[in-house]
Amino acid sequence: MIDFKHQVAEALKNNIDGMEINDIIGMIEIPPNSEMGDFAFPCFKLAKTMRKAPNLIAADIAENMEKIAIFEKVESKGGYVNFFMDKKAVAESVLNEVNDKGEKYGGSDIGGGKKVIVEYSSPNIAKPFHIGHIRSTVIGNAIYKIYNFLGYDTVRINHLGDYGTQFGKMIVAYRKWGRKEDVEKEPIRTLLGLYVKFHEEAEAHPELEDEAREVFRLLESGSAEEVELWKWFREESLKEFTRVYDMLGISFDSYAGESFYSDKMDRITDMMTEKGLLQKSEGAEIVDLSEYDMSPALIRKKDGSTLYITRDIAAAVYRKEHYNFDKNIYVVAAQQNLHFQQWFKIIELMGFDWAEQCVHVNFGLVSLDDGTMSTRKGKVVFLEDVLNRAVEKTAEIIRDKNFGKDDLDEISKQVGIGAVVFNELSNNRIKDYVFSWDKVLNFEGETGPYVQYTHARACSVLRNAKVELSKNVNFEYLTGESAYELIKLIARFPESVVDAAEKYEPSIVTRHIVDVAQGFNKFYHDEHIIVENEEEQKAKLLLVDAARQTLENGLKLLGMAAPERM
């Protein structure tokens, strides 16, 4: 596809002395409406060096570009140079590119095979896979897909929370109040009940906390009974987690959790000691980070047990040595900002120059209508329940609207689960939000079902036309307002994918495919597509297919299905 922005920049460079092409490209804007052109260049920054008013600079530049073929016209207005591209040339370049690349449209090889690790989801073993985990899970999955789409060699890691003092609590609770048959019947709900009971009892009997710490110490030291129980809890939990991942269509390359690094931490603490980083503090070992305006990082407790931060450092060192990553991305809630700042700094102080390749992609919290979720109090919404209810609700809507009964179960899954995923990815990831059934299962407006239905509508148009697609069309038929606006939106899809990768922000793709869906529906409303004029119909069908392909590719990047019928 012709890089029209680059062509605008090249034309401008010939009229502006002393500016590099990349600087010019960075200044070029997309006007808020088509009446102001396809691209706009502000001249305000040039006023000082050119010693002339911005509107006069813009007028001079516009006048010198009147005879350049790629421009339909060039105007100056209010200190801006507005560029109107040759619509036919744009249509031909964009639609041929989509037709040639198909499911790869929007992707590229800019990653050049560089190794990128994305750690996401990472639920805690023996605890609920609740709605709070949806954010890390779907944001991480979308980031993985986006980077993969751009040619990076991407590795998906589910760093399971399968270690720590909470397992001491769980084992104590199971021994006191648990039954094997209950765990086998409903592992997570039963273990959650035991975890909640432990904390209720510990309020009246604080000695339970000491007992739990001792049990975890035995687990860390390899005590057979504790290890056997821990393995059982892990296996039963993974069965339930896998069921939810299957519903979401998500898989991982590695499930190496915290326990995987239990035999690798002595080496890490030895390295810290060699670097003079570890200090004794009330029997524990810390790294003093006050010089960097951070609180001390607790590396090892006074009883010798390790913490999250120790295991995260061990994991990062292992990953660098094992994968030799170019980027190591952690999709973890903003609550952990300090934790990541601390251990990133420690990695740097240990002498690892790859510390800057570690990136914390944070996100806002999910809360319930009546407050924040708490596993200790049993106050959670199970993610599996959310997904199942979304599927049931979708089936009801399809039946009520008489969309069709064919493949009802499959379409209900695709659209219902897609609605939940899209809801998570539709806003900037850093925003906190309140979980609401009404909002998640709203099928009106700028939602996942709206985009999926638009894709299905485009598929329906192509089926009903019963015409073989061809690139040999008359692109003059695609110069009308709604057709051209849709083409420009399709053209900007690859740019939105790159932008999403650079900012670790899947919502950029989400918002863009909403725009494409709206653009397609306006085109569908404004234009007759199945017409007697065969040449006109062929051209319009090529545009329909390009919109369909763009929506499909965008939905797949978000981890959603693109139904052909709804």
Report whether pLDDT(213) > 60: yes
- The rounded distance, in Å, linking the Cα atoms of 370 and 354 is 43
Residue 171, amino acid: I
For residues 474 and 527, state if they share a domain: yes
- What pLDDT was estimated at residue 405? 61
Residue 71 inside a domain? The answer is yes
Percent of the chain with pLDDT over 90: 72
**How is residue 382 annotated by DSSP?**
B
For residues 397 and 436, state if they share a domain: yes
- Is 528 designated active site? no
- Give how many domains the chain has, as a whole number: 3
Confidence of residue 71 (pLDDT cuts 50, 70, 90): very high
Confidence of residue 400 (pLDDT cuts 50, 70, 90): confident
- Selected catalytic residue, list 5, 133, 169, 413: 133
Residue 297 inside a domain? The answer is no
Q: How far is CA 402 from CA 252, 332, 411, 489, in A?
A: 38, 41, 13, 31
For residues 319 and 414, state if they share a domain: no
106, 554 in Cβ contact below 8 A?
A: yes
Mean predicted confidence (pLDDT) in 473-490 = 96
Percent of the chain with pLDDT over 70: 96
For residues 354 and 241, state if they share a domain: yes
Confidence of residue 324 (pLDDT cuts 50, 70, 90): very high
For residues 451 and 521, state if they share a domain: yes
- Is 127 designated active site? yes
**Which segment of 66-70, 199-203, 282-286, 382-386 scores lowest on mean pLDDT?**
66-70
138, 386 in Cβ contact below 8 A?
A: no
CATH number, residue 324: 3.40.50.620
Give 170-179's long-range contacts (Cβ < 8 A, gap of 24+).
Answer: 170/126, 170/194, 170/195, 170/198, 170/233, 171/212, 171/215, 171/219, 171/226, 171/229, 171/230, 172/198, 172/208, 172/211, 172/212, 172/215, 173/197, 173/198, 174/229
For residues 119 and 237, state if they share a domain: yes
- Selected catalytic residue, list 127, 145, 169, 413: 127
- The rounded distance, in Å, linking the Cα atoms of 268 and 9 is 51
Confidence of residue 302 (pLDDT cuts 50, 70, 90): confident
Residue 566 inside a domain? The answer is no
- Selected catalytic residue, list 130, 393, 512, 540: 130
For residues 261 and 125, state if they share a domain: yes
For residues 389 and 366, state if they share a domain: no
Mean predicted confidence (pLDDT) in 422-429 = 92
- What pLDDT was estimated at residue 375? 52
Among 85, 107, 129, the domain boundary falls at: 85
**How is residue 558 annotated by DSSP?**
T
CATH number, residue 406: 1.10.730.10
Mean predicted confidence (pLDDT) in 461-482 = 93
Report whether pLDDT(1) > 90: no
Report whether pLDDT(305) > 60: yes
pLDDT in tens, 248-259: 999 999 999 988
- What pLDDT was estimated at residue 189? 85
- What pLDDT was estimated at residue 104? 98
For residues 189 and 261, state if they share a domain: yes
Mean predicted confidence (pLDDT) in 499-520 = 97
- What pLDDT was estimated at residue 240? 85
For residues 130 and 179, state if they share a domain: yes
In sign, the C-alpha dihedral spanning 130, 133, 139, 140 is: negative
Report whether pLDDT(494) > 90: yes
Structure tokens at 460: 């329906």
Residue 334 inside a domain? The answer is yes
Report whether pLDDT(520) > 60: yes
For residues 63 and 205, state if they share a domain: no
pLDDT in tens, 526-563: 999 999 999 999 999 999 999 999 999 999 999 999 99
Q: Is the pTM of this model over 0.85?
A: yes
For residues 23 and 50, state if they share a domain: yes
Q: Residue 542 is part of which domain span?
A: 383-557
Top-ranked range on mean pLDDT: pick from 196-200, 351-355, 365-369: 351-355
Mean pLDDT of the chain: 91
CA 494 to the chain's CA centroid: 16
Report whether pLDDT(286) > 70: yes
